[in-house]
Chains A and B, each alone.
Chain A
Amino acid sequence: MLTIRRRLPANWLLIGLALALLPVAVLALSQGAANLPLTDVFVALVKPGLSDPNLQAVLIVREIRLPRVLLAAVVGAILALSGAAMQGLFRNPLADPSLIGVTAGASLGAAIVIVAAGLKLSSEFQLTLISTGAFAGGLLAVILVYRLATSPNGTSVATMLLAGIAITALAGALGGLLEFQANNDMLRRISLWKMGAIDSASYSRLTLAGTTCLLLAITIPRFAHALDAMLLGESEARHLGIDTDKVKRILVVLVALGVGVCVALAGTIAFVGLVVPHLVRLLIGPAHKGLLPASALAGALLLMLADAISRTVLAPAEIPVGIITAILGVPFFIVLLRQRHQYGMQT
């Protein structure tokens, strides 16, 4: 049965998502162990200086929650944008940024640092050290995957996928070996880190993530047309005058950088990169010109909400946000899988 698909115009969705950013951010700022009225949040955001009588609210909002909410937005945007780019590059709607090995490499890097550095793990210095280890591990894994998939005839995305699976399995095994040697405190730290959390937000970390996000948001959408053409096939794209090897190289580097920074700062956050582009494609279609920016905005919204939920459900305790995104994401994803033929997906 042939159907003319009714789609939302991409610009409407972009405007809607952009308009939702501020209210969702304010809502997220008001939620947490201490529930703040919205007026206090506004006062804390707008009034200069800390001379306000409601000093505690100002402190909570400015020093704890604001960097955290913003970091969630930035990490969500990077993960969703990277996911959309990877799904286009691999010509597979089920691809995920972690496919190229970056997440597994980063987890191994973090585990090595946690086990090697011992136990004084709460200090800012230790956190930075773990993040650095994670970033280095993620980048090394991607370089290895990319080298394995590249021959004089070019880079094969199919080989990259297989190499990514192999490197992920290897990193998992090495990580298992480390965990076998680790003591209980280290084990707990490793597993908590793997679940993903944004509780270590600070303005310096936010700056790093924000800069990375800006770089990706400026560069990746420039490849929107190239990604559309490459979905037809690589030789078709080359006949259209696109340097496919260059596109692959640049996109893999950008995604590795983006996801590397995210995993380093917030651990592994599942399903944002997979589900968000899927949802956006369902609404406005697969053309990358709208898909890439809309995915970034939707990813930011989703992770701000998920982080707010993770802070409130068991307050004052916090559930790692990776668990929230997985619990929300998996049922949703299964529904999508079962309905994929209704919106023209053929795989």
Chain B
Amino acid sequence: MTVLSLHDVHAAPWGTPLLHGIHFDLQPGEILGLAGPNGAGKSTLLEVVAGIAETTQGELNLLSKPIARWLPRERARHLAVLPQLSLLSFPYTVDEVILIGRIPGNSSRQEDLAILTQVMAATDTGSLQGQLYTQLSGGEKQRVQLARVLAQIWDEQDMSGRVLLLDEPTTALDLTHQQQLVALLKTLSGRGLAVLVTLHDFNLLAAIAQRLLVIANGRQIALGDTRSVLTEQLFQQVFSTEVIISTHPTRGHPMVISA
């Protein structure tokens, strides 16, 4: 079963063509990294995959059904998105914000509260229970938002058939919580969750993702397993930067070092 498949996808959400011929599959339990320079179309691609921006050409299927044919609420039970920045100026508590993620679900209040406890434990937000979201630090807010999108598609046993899109999920996280996020994503992918994640930190990306998709100017430059995609030529071609590709001494994944 393929969770997500894109075949020659083009998109022009504000009239100007921004994506040209994007082509990839996502299998259950797979973590695909999405990289590219600023303005490459990463966020647009996430919007398109999420079914928010329309495609102008090509096929985009979620669980073998065209994304546009999904009822929004049904789609939201299978696909959640963590945006870069969420503004919330009303004094909701942390619990209330996370439970907003349960809106598309049709579970009982008890089940929702059980999920709340589980996602709070998974994201290390349990200590923030009852606090006001508006008074949290940037990193705490980011973890609460992660807990919210996890609550949206949460299942304690089996998360195959569900997709999580993460747009720069570590920007405000300290080193501890970055490592916790890496571990959490691996646990969840073990449960069958498919993840598409954008990051500017290639070393973090190499630690998280099995495969990488690199785009530039809305076009697909490379797609493949992390080691074969991360080459010195790629960095020259896409980022006009000299780098040295090495290997992590203990974990064995590729490492990118500025030359």
On A, residues with C-beta under 8 Å from B are 1-5, 91-93, 153, 225-226, 228-229, 231-233, 235-236, 238-243, 281, 285-287, 343-347
Contact = CB atoms under 8 A, between A and B. Distances in A.
B244 interface: no
Nearest to B85: A233
A345 B90 contact: yes
A141 B245 CA distance: 63
Interface in B1-48: 14, 47
B100 A344 contact: no
A77 B134 CA distance: 29
Contact of A238 (B72, B136, B149): B72
B81 interface: yes
A285 B76 contact: no
Contacts of B71: 241
A240 B104 contact: yes
Contacts, number: 102
A4 B103 contact: no
Chain B contact residues, majority secondary structure? mixed
A20 B90 CA distance: 28
A91 B152 contact: no
A235 B83 contact: yes
Contacts of A235: 47, 52, 81, 83
A343 B93 CA distance: 11
Interface of B: 14, 47, 50, 52, 71-77, 79-81, 83, 86-93, 96-97, 100-101, 103-104, 130-136, 149, 152
Contact of B83 (A228, A236, A286): A236
Contact of B80 (A226, A229, A239, A344): A239
A238 B96 CA distance: 18
Given A3-B132, A239-B80, A231 B88 contact: yes
User: Can you list the 9 inter-chain pairs with the closest CB atoms, starting with the nearest?
Assistant: A344-B91, A241-B76, A241-B73, A344-B132, A286-B90, A241-B72, A241-B104, A239-B81, A346-B89
A285 B93 contact: yes
Contacts of B90: 91, 93, 231, 281, 286, 345
A250 to B, nearest CB: 15
Contacts of B50: 239
Which of B47, B52, B72, B131 gathers the greatest number of chain A CB atoms within 10 Å?
B72
A243 B152 CA distance: 17
A242 B101 CA distance: 12
Nearest to B73: A241
Nearest to B96: A287
Contacts of A285: 91-93, 96
A232 B72 contact: no
B123 to A, nearest CB: 17
A281 B134 CA distance: 14
Contacts of A91: 87, 89-90
A7 to B, nearest CB: 8
Contact of B103 (A5, A241, A281, A286): A241
A145 B186 CA distance: 49
A283 to B, nearest CB: 12
A262 B7 CA distance: 55
A347 B89 contact: yes
Nearest to A291: B90
A286 B14 CA distance: 34
Contact of B101 (A226, A231, A240, A347): A240
B128 to A, nearest CB: 8
B87 to A, nearest CB: 6
Contacts of A1: 135
B132 A232 contact: no
Nearest to A239: B81
Given A2-B132, A91-B87, A236-B81, 6 more contacts: A1-B135, A5-B130, A91-B89, A232-B100, A235-B81, A346-B89
